[in-house]
Amino acid sequence: MPRGDPSPKLAITVDPEIHEDIVNAAAREGVSVSAWMTSAAREALRRRAGLAAIRPWEKEHGRFSREEMDEARRGVTAQLRATRRIRRSA
């Protein structure tokens, strides 16, 4: 009998071209394929939520300028680098 709150399971099919990349990426990060896929899905969902959140703002104020988008990309890149450094040191 499983203890606690076991995670729900998904059975997925991936293209053969990406399968090896997924397995290798998980191995490089020292995590299971399940953990890697969960992280990838979480990031994709977070990105979609972020894009959905800016749509109403853009509808009211207009699209972001190239300069604003470049500044946002620099900020996100800096955050990702900091996050990766924290994970590696943990």
Radius of gyration of the chain (CA): 18
CA distance linking residue 90 with residue 84, whole number of Å: 10
- What are the start-end ranges of the H helices in 30-65? 33-61
The whole-number pLDDT of residue 83 equals 78
The whole-number pLDDT of residue 90 equals 55
The whole-number pLDDT of residue 32 equals 95
Below-50 pLDDT ranges, the chain? none
Residues 6+ apart with CB under 8 A from 23: 33
The whole-number pLDDT of residue 66 equals 95
The whole-number pLDDT of residue 89 equals 59
